[in-house]
Amino acid sequence: RSSVVAVVDERVVGFVSGFIRPESPATLFVWQVAVDADQRGKGIAGRMLSALLDGLAPEGITHLETTISPDNEASIALFTALARRRDTAITKQELFSPNDFPDGHEAEDLYTIG
């Protein structure tokens, strides 16, 4: 119920995986968004996110959270456009610095929509 798959011509071409936060039951946390390289740029990711939120709205989901590294311009654009289409706010706050990870992982910012 908190994930969705995109199918084109009977072939899985993308997915969104997420979970409803137990400590914040009105919030969907999106863990991962993936679209096949040959299907990118067609709006599939945005449609999957919208379908997921629309399907969960009757259950009281009003917010979406996700983490994005600062240099992931495609993901930032995806979620910013989602907020704009839904005519709602998007906020960003630093969540993890590179020092919080053992292997030199990039920083992660928390984005909240709604």
Summarised one tens digit per residue, pLDDT across range 26-41 is 999 999 999 999 999 9
Q: Which of 46, 5, 54 is nearest to 28 (CA)?
A: 54
Question: Count of domains in the chain?
Answer: 1
Summarised one tens digit per residue, pLDDT across range 88-107 is 999 999 998 888 888 878 88
**3 exposure class (CB count in 10 Å sphere: 0-12, 13-18, 19+):** middle
Give the CATH number of the domain where residue 91 resides.
3.40.630.30
Q: What is the pTM of this model?
A: 0.91
Domain hosting residue 28, numbered range:
4-113
